Structure 1
Amino acid sequence: MDTYADTYADLIAAEDVLLFVNAAITSTGQSEFRSDADRQRMSLDFLHDYMLGNYRELYAATLALGVNHHNAALIIRRLLETAADAMPEQRRAEGRLIARRLAKLPPQRVYALFRRLREARVNNRRTRAIMRDWLAARRDLAFDSVKYRDAVKTVARHAHLPLGGELGSFLFAPHDRTVFTTPILESWRRAHYDRSALYELPYTVAEGFAAKHGVDRKAFLEGIAPRLTRLERLRLQTSAAERQAGGVAADLSVMPLTRLASYVLSLPLADRVRRRDELTAALRAAATRAAGLEAGRWGRVTAVLDDSFSATGSRQKRKRPLAVALACHFLLDALAGEYTPLWTSRRDDALLVFPYGPTPLGARVLDALDHRPDRLVIVSDGWDNAPPGLAAEVLRIWRARLDPHRRISIVHLNPVYDADDFDVRRLAPTVPTAGIRSAEDLPALVELAQFAEGRTGLEELRGHLAAQCARFLEEEP
C-alpha cells in the first residue's frame, strides 16, 4: 500500500511540475484571446507559489528549461525572497542556476528584477552578491549607466557597490563635471547642447535628446542607424508609422525564427507577395539554424497548424499564436526528411496565412493520419470547435484501436496558456501536450512531452531535469 501511495504521489508531482512548465513557457501575465491579463496573472502567481512551497528544488531547476523571460524573473525573485527557507546545499544549487539564467536574460529584464527586489526589501547577503557579480560581468558598465541610468543607480545603492571615479560621478552627480574621459559619458554630457553628439548614444537615449533638439524624425533615423540593435531595427521596420518616416531596414538574415515569423505576419499581404523570395529565404535560413544537427533526421512528418481566428491572439500578444505556428512550420520542414503541412484553413501558402474562421482540428487530424507519418505535430490553442470535440474522439479511437503500439508519434504543442485550467488546453488524454512560446524550443519540448503522457514518474523527470540543468550550466552565457 505504501509503495502504491508513493508511486501515485510521484505521478502527481510529475504532473504538477509539467503543468507549471507549460504555464511558465506560454504565459507572460498578459491578456490572451480568451482571458484578460488579471486572470492570467492570478493563475500564474498561484502556480509559482504552489511550486515554490511544494517542490523547491524542481522549481529552481525549471530555470534550465525554456521558460520565458517573464517567468524566469519571477522564479529568481521568489527564490531570493525565500532564501532563508532553503538548505545550504539548495542555496548553492540555486545560486548557480540564478547566475546562469541572469546572464541569459536581457539586461532591462535583470535591472527591472533588481528594482523589484529592492522595493520588496530583499537585501540578504546572497542577493547583494548576485547583483554585484552580475554587474561585474557586464561588458560595458559605462554603456549600461547611460542606457539604464536610474536602474544602475538603484542596483548600486541596494547592493552597496563602491562606484567611484567618473562612473560614480556620472550616476550620482553628473553635472558636477565639465568633462568626462570615458567617450560615451562625454557624449551624453555634450548631447545636452550639441545635437551631433546624440548620434554617439544608444537609440533609446538619443531619441529623447532628438526630441529635445527638435531633430526631424527621418534625419534622426538615418543618423542613428549604425547604433541600432537588431531588435530595435526590427521594431522600427515593423512599425507602419516608422516605415512611412523612412524607417531602418532590418537584417533578416540574422533574425531568430519566431521573431522573424512575427515580423512577416506584421506585413500587409501585398508586401509579403512582393517580398516573397526574400522572406521565404530568411525563414528557411532561420529554421535551418534552429534545426542544427537534427536537420533532416525526423523522417516523415505531418503537421496540423492552427490559423483559425483565435490565432489572432490579443492586443498585447498580437498574432503570437499564429507566429509560433508559422515558425514551427518552417522548422518542421527543416527537421523532416519528408514534410506535409496541413493548415486548419486549408490554405497551402504559408507565407500568406492570417487568422480566420473556425478551428476544424478533428478533420485536419484525420487528414494527417491518412498520410501515415512517423510523427504528427499539432500546433494549436486546443479549442477544437468545428465540430467541438472531434479531434479528441479521433485521437482516442486512433490510439485505442488503430495504433495502440504508438507507431506514429503524436504530440500537441500549445502556444496559449489557459488561466482557468492552470495549464495549456489539451486535445486528448492519450496525446501528450506541451506549452510552446518559441519554435526554437520545439525539439526539446517534443522530448519533454513524453513525460506528459502519465506513464513516466517523478524519478525519470528528475533525471531529465538534472541532465538539462547540467547542460544549461555548461552553456556559454
Structure 2
Amino acid sequence: MPSHPGRRRTSATTESRATAVTAESTETFADLVAAEDVLLFVNAAITSTGQREFHSGEDEQGLSLGFLHEYLLGNYRDLYAATLALDVNDHNAALIIRNLLVTAGEADPERRRAEGRLIARRLALLPPPRVYRLFRELRRARINNRRTRAIMRDWLAARPDLAFDAVKYRGAVKTAFRHAHLEPRGELGTFLFAPRRKAAYATPILESWRQAHYRQEAIYDLPYTVAEGFAAKHGIPRAAFLERIAPRLTRLERLRLQESARALKADAVRADLTAMPLTRLASYVLGLPPDDRVRRRAELTEALRAAARRTAGEQAGRWGRVAAVLDDSFSAYGSAQKRRRPLAVALACHFLLEALASRYTPLWLSGRSDALLVRPYGATPLGERVLDALELGPERLVIVSDGWDNAPPGLAGEVLRIWRTRLDPDGACGVVHLNPVYDAASFDVRRLVPGVPSAGIRDAENLVALVELARFAEGRTGLPELRAHLAHRVTDFLDAEPPETAGRVADEGDPAAGAAGEDVRRTPREDARRTPGEGT
C-alpha cells in the first residue's frame, strides 16, 4: 500500500497478473491495479464498522479503514462515489457521503450532480439516527456550503413525520435545522426551540409528549425509546409498561425485547420471527441458551428457513449442487462489540445456501451436524473441511470463514491452489470465499489463496450479489468490466422505487402522520440562493 493517497499501490498479486499482459498493454496493467484497489475498498466497506474484531483492536480498524477511504477518494473519485450503490454497510456509507461533501470543491459541476443523486438516494435508505449523526459531524467539521444545506433540506422535507422525529431525536433535529439555515413551521419550531412555551399542542404526538410529564396515560402514545424514560420517571413497573407499549414497538424492538419480556411474563411483546431479516434472526437465535434452542427447534428452524426463502427469491433452487464450509471455530465469537457476528453470518449463509441449492451439503469446522446448536469453539481445520467438500464434487463451493486457517496452518490455501491449478484448471467447480471479518493489517479481508476470489460479507442477504462481484477478484476481468458492473448497479440503485418511509428503517412500524415536507421552510436568504436542481 502507498504511504499516502496520492501514490498508486502495486502488489505481488497484480504483478503476477501483469506477466500475462503484453509489453504494449501498460494501460491494461493500470486497469488491473485500479480494479484491485476498488475491490479492496469494497471488501473493507462491506465488512468493517471500525469496531474491535477478534484479531485487531478498534484503533487499528479505524486507522486502516480511514486510510482506504482517503486513498480511493484521492485516486478514483467517481468509483468511490459509485460504491454507494453497492452493499456497503451504513457506517461506511455515512463516511463516503461525508468525504464527498467535505471535498466537493475538487469535483466539477457534472460530477457533483451525479454524486448528489447518489447521496440523496443513499440517505433515504439509511436509518434516521445514522443520518442525524452525519449531520452533526458535518456541523462539527464546519461543512456548510449551499450544496450540503440543500441535501439536508431535501432529506428533512422527505421525512414522513418530522413531528415524530422531533420527539424521538429532538437534539439532532434542532442541529440539522440550524445547520441547514431552515425555519421549522408552526408548532414544530416552538417544540424544538421553546417546548414549554405552549400550554397545549394541536399536533397529537407533541401534545402527548407535553402531557407525559405529568400524566402516565400519555406516554403510551410516544415512541418506545422516549416512553421508556417517562415510565422510569413515573415509577411504572417494567412488565406493565411493556404490556401497554407493545402496540408502539417496531419489529426490531420487539425482537430485542422479546426474551426480557418473556421473563417478566409480558406476553404482548412477541415478535413474528418469520418476518425478521435473516442475519438479524440468526443473531437472535445464537443469543438464546442451547436448551431454549432445543425446546423451540421447530419454531426457530421454520423462521430461519422462511427468511432464507424470502431472501433467495427467484434464485431459490437454481444453484445446483452446493457444498459449504462454515466456520464455527473460537474466533467466530468476534468481539465484545460484535458478539458472535461472524458465526451469525455463517449460520444465516447456511440457511440461505440451503434455499438456493438443489442439493446442499453443509460442513461445519467443528464437525457438528446440528446447525441450530453451533457455538464458537475450537481450532480452525479449514483445509480438512475443504478437502471433504471437494470430494463431494459440487458445482459450487462456498467457504464462509475469517480465513485464519491454523490446524494445520495454510492447508486450506494449498489444497485450493492444487485444486485450481492441477485438478480443476477450467473452473468446473466455482469456489468463492466469503469473509465476515476485516483484517486491518492487510487492508482487506484475509484471503486463502490468490486463485480463489475472496469477498467481504456483513449480511447473508447480500450473498448472491457478492458471489457475482467476487468474480472480478479472480483477475480475469479488469477495470472496464468492473466499471460496467458498477454503472449497472448505480442505474438500478437510482431507478429503484424510493422507500415509502423515506429512510425510516429504524422506525419501521411507527405511524407517520404528517405530510412530507410540510414542516420545512427555507429562510428568505436560502430562497434567494436556491438554484434549480440544487442538491441533486
| Aligned residue type for 2:450 | P
| Aligned residue type for 1:30 | Q
Aligned to 2:307: 286
Deviation of the 1:246 alpha carbon: 3.8
Structure-1-length-normalised TM-score: 0.98
Aligned to 2:346: 325
Q: Please give the secondary structure, in 1, of the residue aligned with 2:207.
A: helix
Flag structure 2 segments of 5+ consecutive residues without an equivalent.
1-21, 500-536
Q: Does 1:103 align with 2:124?
A: yes
Aligned to 2:294: 273
- Distance (whole Å) between structure 2 residues aligned to residue 3 and residue 326 of structure 1: 48
Q: Does 1:146 align with 2:167?
A: yes
Aligned to 1:69: 90
Contact 1:307–1:344 (CA under 8 A) maintained in structure 2: yes
Aligned to 1:244: 263
Match of 1:440 among 431, 436, 461: 461
Match of 2:228 among 207, 214, 225: 207
Aligned to 1:217: 238
Q: How does 1:125-274 map to 2 (within 5 A)?
A: 125-237=146-258, 241=260, 243-246=262-265, 248-274=269-295
| Aligned residue type for 1:150 | G
- Distance (whole Å) between structure 2 residues aligned to residue 262 and residue 298 of structure 1: 25
With a CA cutoff of 8 Å and minimum separation of 6, indicate the structure with the bigger relative contact order.
2
Q: Please give the secondary structure, in 2, of the residue aligned with 1:342.
A: strand
Match of 1:82 among 103, 128, 141: 103
Match of 1:420 among 425, 432, 441: 441
- Distance (whole Å) between structure 2 residues aligned to residue 354 and residue 166 of structure 1: 53
Deviation of the 1:124 alpha carbon: 0.7
1:399-454 C-alpha deviation (Å, 9 max, x unpaired): 11100010000000000000000000001111000000000000000000000112
- Distance (whole Å) between structure 2 residues aligned to residue 101 and residue 243 of structure 1: 37
| Aligned residue type for 1:203 | Y
Deviation of the 1:474 alpha carbon: 1.4
Deviation of the 1:2 alpha carbon: 7.8
Q: Please give the secondary structure, in 2, of the residue aligned with 1:411.
A: strand
Q: Does 1:12 align with 2:33?
A: yes
Q: Does 1:404 align with 2:425?
A: yes
Structure-2-length-normalised TM-score: 0.88
- Distance (whole Å) between structure 1 residues aligned to residue 316 and residue 476 of structure 2: 29
Deviation of the 1:242 alpha carbon: 5.0
Deviation of the 1:112 alpha carbon: 0.5
Flag structure 1 segments of 5+ consecutive residues without an equivalent.
none
- Distance (whole Å) between structure 1 residues aligned to residue 23 and residue 453 of structure 2: 28
Contact 2:97–2:119 (CA under 8 A) maintained in structure 1: yes
| Aligned residue type for 1:78 | N
Aligned to 1:340: 361
- Distance (whole Å) between structure 2 residues aligned to residue 423 and residue 178 of structure 1: 57
The 4+ residue runs of structure 1 with deviation greater than 6 A are: none
| Aligned residue type for 2:304 | L
Contact 2:48–2:65 (CA under 8 A) maintained in structure 1: yes
Q: Please give the secondary structure, in 1, of the residue aligned with 2:143.
A: coil
| Aligned residue type for 1:337 | S
Q: Please give the secondary structure, in 2, of the residue aligned with 1:377.
A: strand
- Distance (whole Å) between structure 2 residues aligned to residue 85 and residue 210 of structure 1: 50
- Distance (whole Å) between structure 2 residues aligned to residue 163 and residue 363 of structure 1: 63
Q: Please give the secondary structure, in 2, of the residue aligned with 1:175.
A: coil
* Number of equivalent positions: 475
Contact 1:254–1:286 (CA under 8 A) maintained in structure 2: yes
1:221-260 C-alpha deviation (Å, 9 max, x unpaired): 111111011111111125xx55433452222121000000
Q: Please give the secondary structure, in 1, of the residue aligned with 2:182.
A: coil
Q: Please give the secondary structure, in 2, of the residue aligned with 1:289.
A: helix
- Distance (whole Å) between structure 2 residues aligned to residue 34 and residue 63 of structure 1: 28
Contact 2:242–2:261 (CA under 8 A) maintained in structure 1: no
- Distance (whole Å) between structure 2 residues aligned to residue 346 and residue 451 of structure 1: 32
Structure richer in helix, relative to its length: 1
Residue identity (%)? 75
Q: Please give the secondary structure, in 2, of the residue aligned with 1:176.
A: coil
Deviation of the 1:3 alpha carbon: 4.1
Deviation of the 1:314 alpha carbon: 0.3
Deviation of the 1:189 alpha carbon: 0.3
- Distance (whole Å) between structure 1 residues aligned to residue 207 and residue 183 of structure 2: 22
Contact 1:345–1:357 (CA under 8 A) maintained in structure 2: yes
Aligned to 1:354: 375
Aligned to 1:94: 115
Contact 2:438–2:444 (CA under 8 A) maintained in structure 1: yes
Task: Report the aligned-residue RMSD.
Answer: 1.0
Q: Does 1:295 align with 2:316?
A: yes
Q: Does 1:47 align with 2:68?
A: yes
Contact 1:221–1:246 (CA under 8 A) maintained in structure 2: no
- Distance (whole Å) between structure 1 residues aligned to residue 265 and residue 332 of structure 2: 31
